[in-house]
Each structure stands twice: as structure tokens, then as C-alpha cells.
Amino acid sequence: MGTCKGGEWNPQALEALEVGAFKTGKWWELDELLAAEIRTIPSQMRVHLPAVVAGELPEQPVDIGE
């Protein structure tokens, strides 16, 4: 898990397809992300992220893909 105390969104050294995927990227507050009606990758991130942020890590790996 990682955290960030702010900063500017500035991805670097991206491949052409990554540029398209990340050009509208931004940092999110957890509540803002949970309320947003956007597609996330991985798709199940909203389901599991609150527990992880709270330090409640699963004992076994969890598949958060589609």
C-alpha cells in the first residue's frame, strides 16, 4: 500500500498506449473516489480499497480484477 501527501501528477517515461490511459490521471481522496462514477482499473478497487486504507489487510490475496 502506498500513500502520498500531495504533489503534482506528472507520470514520466510512458509508452504510447500508457500516455492515453494516464493523460487524465489525478490523485483522489478516498471519499471522492468512492463517490465518483468513473471506471477504475482494477475494476473492483472501490470494493476493497477502504479496508486496505484502514489497515485491514486480507489474510489471502484477493482478485480485484473483472
- Chain segment 4-58, per-residue pLDDT in tens: 676 776 777 888 888 777 777 778 899 999 999 988 888 899 999 999 999 999 9
Q: Is residue 37 part of a domain?
A: yes
Q: Is residue 50 part of a domain?
A: yes
Q: Is residue 38 part of a domain?
A: yes
With contact defined as beta carbons under 8 Å apart, do 64 and 47 qualify? yes
Q: Is residue 39 part of a domain?
A: yes
Q: % helix / strand / coil in the chain, to the nearest 5?
A: 35, 0, 65
Q: Is residue 48 part of a domain?
A: yes
Number of domains observed in the structure of the chain: 1
**CA distances in angstroms from 33 to 26, 40, 59, 61, listed in the order given:** 11, 9, 25, 22
Tell me what pLDDT residue 36 has.
93
Domain of residue 39, residue span: 29-58
